Chain A
């Protein structure tokens, strides 16, 4: 950095009786501080400008990268880490590392809580069809039926919005093929619901969807009201 050349190197070695044990702070020049400030203003205007361009999900990444560049400028020059005891930088890096762990573990948990079952409005594991632990139910979506919004972990077929009252075997087929609940999971959950039908006979309910449309039969789920009509058609 060229501004560095003009910095006042007033390390005050002879300033006090402690000699080398006096405080030896690097003193930057006015010009260097102003240059950093202008850089920060530039990045601020840049981030505002870039936010107006549609980049989809990249907008967030660009905003975070620009903010991190600004943060790096502040830490390096304004907070003197460049000329400081390296232990102070270590403390900052350690804090950032643990923030990374915090983000990674939490978002990993939130993103992989299973997929939304549009029939019941709850989240299930794709492999087993069982309720995902910590399953989070959106109360508003629950009332309005499967709106299919919000979660990026949803398998694409399940996002097809179907009015809960007009569920046909054809329309449930793609949704269920994504959810693929196992026989055991559905047998357990279906049993209390279909008191008239024996649990195992519930299996061939839908010819179009052999894997059970009524899979996670949550009695509390309003969307489940769609299930009985087809099951009644196949005694």
Chain B
């Protein structure tokens, strides 16, 4: 430890007069020399994780690109079965939650605890709204038998996954062959995204609890910051998913 740091910490003892483990503030883990070092390490770690998340999702986007080249008309037809208004609303809901997340970081940077609480609650509320709208969309797809792979064409109950007795899907029958491939990708991509939203809600609740407990200050807001980074990534993935799935207008070379 440098002399300058040691001096700084002595000064800190006098300035704050708090109980500390050793000569560190409570929130500064013992293996870091300075708050800046801890903060930078946390951010780099989070960005490495986000880079991994992008590569992880890119596998599905590559699969999407391949199947869309092969079955352009089926993808266009499948896309037209999705609800553009609901998709657009959901996009706006998620973008707004990203705004409130960014503002939550800002208020925690300024040490405004109550404002942070309100903004985190808004973010969580938007996440639930997003999932509710997603549920409504899934519900319609299940009712119409617009399901992945071999499940395609059989209307099913969304909760029990049992086939609905007597129901047949004229919707599914009228679609081009291979539309099931579109719905396979639709459910896997939006489902994986929804899992990320659910995990995000869990993390935000934990951050909310820590905020209410008074863990964060102008000097230490790293957990809020990195959680918001994760939340923005969830938003980023949706930014690409929305036009890829909901807004296909391309109908294939032989028809266009």
Contact = CB atoms under 8 A, between A and B. Distances in A.
B96 interface: yes
B249 A52 contact: yes
Contact of A63 (B50, B95, B244): B244
Contact of A33 (B58, B69, B106): B106
A60 interface: yes
B233 to A, nearest CB: 8
A151 B66 contact: no
B115 to A, nearest CB: 11
Contact of B9 (A17, A34, A59, A110): A17
B128 interface: no
A22 B36 contact: yes
Nearest to B87: A48
Interface stretch (A89-97, A164-172, A184-192): A89-97
Contacts of B70: 138, 150-151
B106 A27 contact: yes
Given A18-B34, A71-B240, A78-B102, A10 B110 contact: yes
A19 B102 contact: no
A95 B218 CA distance: 31
B197 to A, nearest CB: 16
B209 interface: no
B250 A60 contact: yes
A18 B35 contact: yes
Given A41-B95, A78-B232, A149-B252, A30 B73 contact: no
B243 A75 contact: no
Contacts of B62: 102-103, 106-107
B123 interface: no
A175 B99 CA distance: 57
Contacts of A20: 36
A45 B256 CA distance: 25
A37 B95 CA distance: 7
B91 A17 contact: no
A232 interface: no
A71 B253 contact: no
Bin chain A's interface residue count. Answer: 35 or more
A55 B256 CA distance: 10
A94 B51 CA distance: 8
A223 B26 CA distance: 76
Interface residues of B, number: 77
A21 B37 contact: yes
A111 B240 contact: no
B58 A15 contact: no
B239 A70 contact: yes
Contact of B73 (A33, A103, A149): A149
A99 B11 CA distance: 48
Contacts of A53: 249
A51 B106 contact: no
Interface stretch (B39-47, B141-149, B198-206): B39-47
Contacts of B229: 79
Interface in B218-256: 218-222, 225, 228-229, 232, 235-236, 239-240, 242-244, 247-250, 252-254, 256
27 contacts: A10-B218, A12-B218, A17-B12, A20-B36, A21-B36, A22-B36, A23-B220, A23-B221, A27-B110, A33-B106, A41-B95, A53-B249, A56-B250, A57-B250, A63-B247, A67-B240, A74-B236, A85-B44, A91-B50, A91-B51, A95-B52, A95-B55, A103-B58, A107-B66, A107-B69, A140-B178, A149-B252
Interface of B: 5, 8-13, 15-16, 33-37, 39-40, 43-44, 47-48, 50-52, 54-55, 58-59, 61-62, 65-66, 69-73, 84, 88, 91-92, 95-96, 98-99, 101-103, 105-106, 109-110, 177-178, 218-222, 225, 228-229, 232, 235-236, 239-240, 242-244, 247-250, 252-254, 256
Given A23-B39, A30-B106, A88-B44, 16 more contacts: A16-B12, A17-B9, A23-B219, A24-B36, A27-B110, A51-B243, A51-B248, A53-B249, A60-B250, A63-B244, A64-B240, A88-B43, A103-B58, A106-B65, A149-B252, A150-B252
Interface of A: 8, 10, 12, 15-25, 27-28, 30, 33-34, 36-37, 40-41, 44-45, 47-48, 51-57, 59-60, 63-64, 66-67, 70-71, 74-75, 77-80, 84-85, 87-88, 91-92, 94-96, 98-99, 102-103, 106-107, 110-111, 138, 140, 148-152, 159
Closest 5 CB pairs of A and B: A17-B12, A21-B34, A95-B51, A51-B247, A63-B243
